[in-house]
A and B are shown apart, each in its own frame.
Chain A
Amino acid sequence: MSDAAVIPQASTEEWSLPSRGVVGMACLILAEAAIFIIFVVAYIFYIGKSLSGPTPRDVLELPIFSSICLLSSSFTVHKAESALHKGARGATSLWLAATVLLGSIFLAATGAEWYHLIKYDHLTIRTNLFGTTFYSLVGLHATHVIIGLIMLSLALGFSLGGQMTSKHYPRLQVLSLYWHFVDAVWVVVFTVVYVLGR
């Protein structure tokens, strides 16, 4: 029943803890993964259940080139990260620019695909269950790509402006974790939509 507040000071061993940024991003990835799983489950559940056309086999083409672009952007963002770690700021900007470019190519390809589907194949989100699940799943992923691109462009801007130094390495590391996640999700979406779904 002591009134005076006294803080315990025990002698302890060496103390180091994981970075809170990495832990936070890992949590976000876990939560986002759960959201994607629900959309993937809905996609798989509704494969072949559309009451009317068009079907995936009629209209979908494999987006090989854009997928290669997106997946290789994982490599470039990793290079940017390690360049920043070494303090090579020019190389950081270069690799970040490459990442933004590759991501933009992917996004543009998705846009072109949707344009074609809507204009020539008359597939919209209201057409049938395929349209519903396709646009929502691919659209959810594309939204994540857009958010990633915005953040990467910001990082690129800071890097070009010279504000980003090696002490910001942990932050770029967190961003790169997110970008790897977006790429990994694409592997799943690609497999489900363009391989299994056709």
Chain B
Amino acid sequence: MATQTPVSAVVDQTTHTAPRRLWLEVLHEWVTTVDHKKIGLMYIAYALIFLVIAGFEAILMRIQLALPNNHFVSPQVFNRLFTMHGTTMVFFVGMPILFGFGNYLIPLMIGARDMAFPRLNAFSFWISAFGGTLLYFSYLGGDGLYGAGSAPDVGWWAYAPLTAHAFSPGHSTDYWTLSVLLSGVGTIGTALNIVATTISMRCPGMKLNRMPLLVWIYLVTSMLVFVAVSPLTAAQIMLMLDRYLGSHFFDTQAGGSAVLWMHFFWIFGHPEVYVLVLPAFAFANEIIPVFSRKAIFGYPAMVAATVGIGFISLSVWAHHMFTVGLGPGANTFFVLATMVIGVPTGIKIFNWLATMWGGKIHFTASMMFAIAFLFQFLIAGLTGIILSAAPLDWQLGNSYFVVAHFHFVLVGAILFMLFSAFYYWYPKMTGRMLSERLGKWHFWIFLIGFHLTFDLMHIPGILGMPRRIYTYEADRGWTLLNMLVSTGAFIQTVGTLIFVFNMVWSYFRGAIAGADPWDAWTLEWSTASPPPAYNFATIPSVASRRPLWDLKHPEDPDSNYE
């Protein structure tokens, strides 16, 4: 195996400054591109814009809730804020940013030159982007002839019969359902592309059991998208038929069932949580080993746990519906299924700890976010186990305890791991390092803000503060806690602004990264930063899970052990 003949990654080795081009030419290039890297970057940029918008909505809500009997915004505006915040964060921040990283990284990691269907890839991006634009266009177009309020205000799960014409006149709900439908179409297209790329575009020697774990997890996530997002698409079609053609799917007056919508929504809604969190696991699987200077512990167990999570996540949806009254049989089933999902997740946490154990840990900003992810995801999982017990859920359901729990997953786990991924792959995407000093400021400030907000948010929930409440009386004993929670939100904003500044500043002034700044092992680090349009001058071929380790250590290649 020691007879590798390395090949240079880039055909043209000369460094030159690109000629200045008209901005219209640059725009044309980005709008018409089918390059997976450009599409990936557009996904990420588009998600970051919506992250800022939805984050701003969160800040407005926290100002409203900071003091009792507050009237900073009107109740109608408040309803729109939490609807838009939830819908935006799930469909137009979470999904596109994760698919953006997937789009960018998967072909590079498996040694391919592009995705399997580049034009479908561009189509999926633009249809999702159109969906997001449509959602916010509702602020202008939602009124219709009814003067019935602009943006959607039915909550992000849009329970029937609130979505019926009688209760949602005007077009705001139509904008909601159309934009979610379009985002679903784009999501299914990208997932299809990822599966076909992973199955059919791997470079020679990249067997399934040699793929980077990130690619494995994206494969499972995409399979999950087919069986989870499609039901939502079907349910949105039904809702549109109800609203436009007068059918009766969710119309209780004609014998239709509101609970059926709940089932359809959560058959999507719970696997969706795993669609969002699995890519965070994927980033952790790449980042933790590199900064622990050890190969990942228990590769086959990680793959098995991922597939296990994929399957079990399909049988837990009704734990969102304990308060509906499903009867003891169904309740017991969903309690047990929900608790079982803790097992594969626990396997993952132990494997990450075992990877770090005895390693030579480099505390870069990326690694610090990853370590915080480990702790916070554990806590999020534990409150999840608490909520999975139906009797406790009856007590805590629809309270701020639930809000705190899922924000621990979405912010404490997913967003932290996304920050980690930015610090890790930004050098590959731009050719410049992010500032480590600013990164550490970002980390500590955001960490403090996060815990101030979401640790304390559990308590008003236990004290009985309901979710989506507009305001509250001063004598409830929630005042101080809400004030602190809102303060934490502002501290997180400061941290995020540092991150944004870091990204902009480093793009122009950051240290030059080079091809492989982290001394990492997967194929994306074997080409230039940023990679040329063709990714690899020669298609690589690999003999182990860590091809760059083999290249750097021909005396002791991994292929001897796998």
Residues of A within 8 A of B (CB): 1-13, 15, 17-20, 23-24, 27-28, 30-39, 42, 45-46, 49-51, 125-126, 128-129, 131-133, 135-136, 140
Contact of B541 among A8, A19, A51, A140 (CB under 8 A): A8
Docked-complex contact A129 and B255, CB < 8 angstroms: yes
Docked-complex contact B230 and A31, CB < 8 angstroms: yes
B-chain residues with CB within 8 Å of residue A35 when the two chains form the complex: 230-231, 233-234, 237
Docked-complex contact B226 and A126, CB < 8 angstroms: no
What are 6 A-B contacts with C-beta separation under 8 Å?
A: A8-B550, A10-B544, A30-B226, A31-B192, A32-B230, A126-B245
B-chain residues with CB within 8 Å of residue A30 when the two chains form the complex: 223, 226-227
Known: A126-B246, A128-B248. A9 touches B4 (CB 8 A): yes
B-chain residues with CB within 8 Å of residue A129 when the two chains form the complex: 248, 254-256
B7, CB-defined interface residue at 8 Å:
yes
B406, CB-defined interface residue at 8 Å:
no
Known: A35-B231, A45-B260, A136-B241. A19 touches B200 (CB 8 A): yes
Chain B residues 505-525 with CB under 8 Å of chain A are 514-517, 519, 523
Docked-complex contact A7 and B538, CB < 8 angstroms: yes
Contact of A6 among B193, B237, B526 (CB under 8 A): B526
Docked-complex contact B551 and A8, CB < 8 angstroms: yes
Docked-complex contact B192 and A5, CB < 8 angstroms: no
Closest to B235 in A: A38
Please measure, in the bound complex, the distance between the C-alpha atom of A158 and the C-alpha atom of B388, giving whole angstroms: 57
B-chain residues with CB within 8 Å of residue A37 when the two chains form the complex: 231
Residues of B within 8 A of A (CB): 1, 3-10, 116-117, 188, 191-193, 195-197, 199-202, 204-205, 222-223, 225-227, 229-231, 233-235, 237-238, 241, 245-249, 254-257, 260, 264, 267, 514-517, 519, 523, 526-529, 536-538, 540-544, 547-548, 550-552, 559
B-chain residues with CB within 8 Å of residue A31 when the two chains form the complex: 188, 191-192, 225-227, 229-230
Docked-complex contact A1 and B517, CB < 8 angstroms: yes
Docked-complex contact B516 and A51, CB < 8 angstroms: no
Docked-complex contact B247 and A125, CB < 8 angstroms: yes
Closest to A49 in B: B255
Please measure, in the bound complex, the distance between the C-alpha atom of A23 and the C-alpha atom of B193, giving whole angstroms: 9
Report the minimum CB–CB distance from B425 to chain A (whole Å): 16
Closest to A13 in B: B205
A-chain residues with CB within 8 Å of residue B188 when the two chains form the complex: 31
Question: Known pairs A45-B257, A129-B255. 8 more at Cβ < 8 A?
Answer: A7-B6, A9-B540, A11-B1, A34-B230, A35-B230, A38-B267, A42-B249, A128-B248
A-chain residues with CB within 8 Å of residue B246 when the two chains form the complex: 125-126
Please measure, in the bound complex, the distance between the C-alpha atom of A11 and the C-alpha atom of B540, giving whole angstroms: 10
Report the minimum CB–CB distance from A50 to chain B (whole Å): 6
A-chain residues with CB within 8 Å of residue B200 when the two chains form the complex: 17-20, 23
Closest to B542 in A: A10
B-chain residues with CB within 8 Å of residue A32 when the two chains form the complex: 230
A-chain residues with CB within 8 Å of residue B550 when the two chains form the complex: 8, 10
Docked-complex contact B540 and A7, CB < 8 angstroms: yes
Contact of A24 among B196, B223, B227, B551 (CB under 8 A): B196
Closest to B111 in A: A7
Known: A6-B551, A18-B199. A12 touches B543 (CB 8 A): yes
B-chain residues with CB within 8 Å of residue A4 when the two chains form the complex: 8, 515
Please measure, in the bound complex, the distance between the C-alpha atom of A17 and the C-alpha atom of B9, giving whole angstroms: 24
B-chain residues with CB within 8 Å of residue A17 when the two chains form the complex: 199-202
Closest to B5 in A: A9
Report the minimum CB–CB distance from B46 to chain A (whole Å): 23
